[in-house]
Structure 1
Amino acid sequence: MLDWLQYRKELLGRIGEIGKLSPDTVKGYQTLTDAGQKTGHLDAKTRELISLAVAVTTRCDGCITVHVGEALKHGATREEIAEALGVAVAMNAGAALVFSARAMDAVHEHSGS
């Protein structure tokens, strides 16, 4: 398995390098990240659990290690994390079902029936 803590450290270092080469790119990302926090409608733990579920559905290891750390920092339990991951699994299955219906629609149109 991956050494998640070391990976996070290395990743953040590389992102720091990108920030030096292209500061507006990283600033733009940070602006997006900060925008949702300003509304105050969701607490930090909930935002991190959502972020983690999205990280899983988008298959982003970097996002996973960052948002696991942040979720734990904001008090998420292993059980809450597992439940959020269950939502990610259901969403992936749901998306596969929806796109299966689209594929069958394409079959219908291609076959003329």
Structure 2
Amino acid sequence: MINDWNATLSNLRKGGSAFAKHNPAVVTAYRGLNEALGQAKHLDNKTRELIALAVAVTTRCDGCISSHAAAAQKAGATVEEVSEALGTAVALNAGAAYVYSVRAIEAFEQMDQ
């Protein structure tokens, strides 16, 4: 096992409570963003959580992975659906590396020698 994801989620929630105590305005605003997503009309909760889990992988956020893995499971996602969503994240990261490689070559070639 790489990580204990239940412990990660539990620790995140505890840390979030401490953060809320010290910076309630930011935490309230953040929670408002998440509540607004719950009112979306075109994507169901499972789809949103699959997207969120894939984004969590691309941003390399363990707290996000634990949170959205739990939420995707609660929303009824299957491991096959999660795997397909994560395949998209893998493809996107490879694509992003390609695009930024093109940019890096362009930058290198523009530098004065």
- The equivalent residue for 2:30 is 29
Structure 1 residue runs of 4 or more that deviate by more than 3 Å after TM superposition: none
Structure 2 stretches lacking a partner, 5+ long: none
What CA distance in whole angstroms lies between the structure 2 residues aligned with 1:52 and 1:32? 17
Whole-angstrom distance in 1 between the partners of 2:37 and 2:6:
26
Tell me which amino acid in the other structure corresponds to 1:4: W
**Secondary structure of the structure 2 residue equivalent to 1:41:** coil
Matches within 5 A, 1:1-113: 1-110=2-111
Aligned residues: 112
Deviation digits for residues 31-77 of structure 1, max 9, x if unmatched?
Answer: 11122222321100000000000000000000000000000100100
Taking only the aligned residue pairs, the percentage that are identical comes to 50
1:111 Cα offset (Å): 5.7
Q: Distance in 1 between matches of 2:65 and 2:8?
A: 11
Larger mean CA deviation between 94-103 and 34-43 belongs to: 34-43
Task: Give, as a single letter, the amino acid of the residue that structure 2 aligns with 1:5.
Answer: N
Q: In 1, Cα distance between the equivalents of 2:22 and 2:108?
A: 47
1:108 to partner: Cα distance: 2.0
State the TM-score, normalized to the length of structure 2: 0.93
Supply the AA of the counterpart residue of 1:51: A
Q: Distance in 1 between matches of 2:99 and 2:11?
A: 37
- State the TM-score, normalizing by the size of structure 1: 0.93
